[in-house]
Amino acid sequence: MKQKSLRARMQAFGGFLTAMVIPNMGAFIAWGFITALFIDTGWMPNKAFSEIVSPMSKYLLPILISFMGGKLVAGDRGGVAGTIGTIGLIIGADIPMFLGAMIMGPLSAWIIKKFDELIEDKAPAGFEMIINNFSLGIIGLILCLLSYSFIGPAIVQANNFLTTVIQAIVKTGALPALAILNEPAKVLFLNNVIDQGIYYPLGMQQALESGKSIFFMVASNPGAGLGLLLAYSIFGKGQAKKTAPGAIIIHFFGGIHEIYFPYVLMKPITILGMIAGSACGIITFSLFNVGLVAGPSPGSIFSYLALTPKGNFVGVIAGVLVATAVSFIVNGLLIKTSKDIDDEELIKSQERSKAMKQEGKDILEGSNEQAQVSGSDIKKVVFACDAGLGSSAMGATSFRKRLEKAGIKMDVKNYAIEKVPEGVDVIVTHENLLERAESANPGIRIVTIQNFLKDQNIDNLYDEIVQSNQK
């Protein structure tokens, strides 16, 4: 098997971070609301309720992250190991251990998983439970003491270094330059790496200190994507012009930013407009000295407004509008002055190229058997993306309703790529996530697309199922 690309491995890492954080976003948002409402500068200052803020950030949130990270690695047993290891970090540090939880949770689970593999089938009959319980307790004890004494201080030092670097960037006014990293990373489906891996931990630490953080907005601003889609709606041609207005609703109000990625990939030069819009948005946020109280997930304008603290609405709205305007102007010029290529023909050529590329991969990886599941053999279809939410959920719902209108009842669900269950016949996923889908789900037929809501390959799959059921 050929080695997976660095991009695919980074995407997988980002997907893992997302799987740790997203299930706990409700807790983070609750913490954000408590912060926004009850601290001294909040909407309804309350000394008693404000005392909840610090314990939630110091104990609850890191423990939730570590448990989920451990569970992803080694199930419930891994989750328990992760929390035991993480509590040592929490007690031994005077800063919120969000980053530490992301490390210690999976690490502790990995250690317990390796131990379980080592003693597998070696435990005497009838002693399995006592061995499992005591091994978890003893290993957890060791991990807790190590994290308190050695790992925690190391993470604190690393955190302090990173904080110093970020503060230096902020002081020099170079924060908008992050857009040069953020926008290409997002289009390559690496947005979860930078958001959950970098900006969210920094943002949570800053929010604990000042009640808000700009780091929650440096990569999540929906304005730049809105400007791009508006430019396509007015200056685009063919399928891009037709679909962009609908994509605006999904992107700006639904918060599913992945919807605009194919529009950038159609005309890669538009990444310049995205960078310009995002950078100008960050500049505006900085000038108004605004931030959010928690990470906006999904990145909808509604999430932005709901998580905006008192006195920050003008600056937050201004940052979104400026990003929209700059992105629209720059991308509009780029779309109008770029080489006149029919969007529909471009999509067709991309599909042909992708098909040929996939044929080569099938030969190299021996995955030709995926194509054998077809027609009446298809009983269960899964739409898969990074987190198994948002775009894949809407795609699954739309496809299921289409089948129901045709009189076909079929199991159509949405999952994260790494969590697709057994018994699935077809996986529908974005073409940029193909390598991850193949790696996590070998032997399953995979249909790659560019848009979860409207794509020729989805139409082809629909026609295939309908025709087979009419025979």
Catalytic positions are 385
Rounded to the nearest 10°, the torsion over CA 441, 442, 443, 446 is 50
Query: Could you count the other beta carbons within 10 Å of the beta carbon of residue 264?
Result: 21
User: Which string of b and e fits 154-192 if b means at least 16 CB within 10 Å?
Assistant: ebbeebeeeeeebeeeeeeeebbebbeebbebbbbbbbb
Residues whose CB falls within 8 Å of the CB of residue 421, separated by 6 or more in sequence, listed in order: 415
Structure tokens at 183: 């926008």
**Length of the chain (residues):** 471
3-state secondary structure of 260: helix
Rounded to the nearest 10°, the torsion over CA 389, 394, 396, 401 is 150
Q: According to DSSP H, which parts of 222-312 are helical?
A: 223-235, 238-248, 261-266, 271-288, 301-306
Residues whose CB falls within 8 Å of the CB of residue 130, separated by 6 or more in sequence, listed in order: none
Sign of the alpha-carbon dihedral angle for 414, 418, 423, 424:
positive
Structure tokens at 52: 């909840």
- Quote the DSSP letter at residue 292: B
Q: According to DSSP H, which parts of 199-259 are helical?
A: 200-210, 223-235, 238-248
Distance CA 322, CA 319 (A): 5
- CA 126 to each of CA 115, 118, 131: distance values in angstroms, whole numbers, following the listed order: 19, 18, 10
Structure tokens at 94: 């005077």
User: Which string of b and e fits 300-332 if b means at least 16 CB within 10 Å?
Assistant: bbebbebbbbbebeebbbbbbebbbbbbbebbb
- DSSP-derived secondary structure for 20-51: HHGGGHHHHHHHHHHHHHHSTTSSS--HHHHT
Structure tokens at 416: 């994260």
Report residue 396 CA to chain centroid gap. 18
Distance CA 221, CA 199 (A): 13
β-sheet bridge partners, residue 213:
292
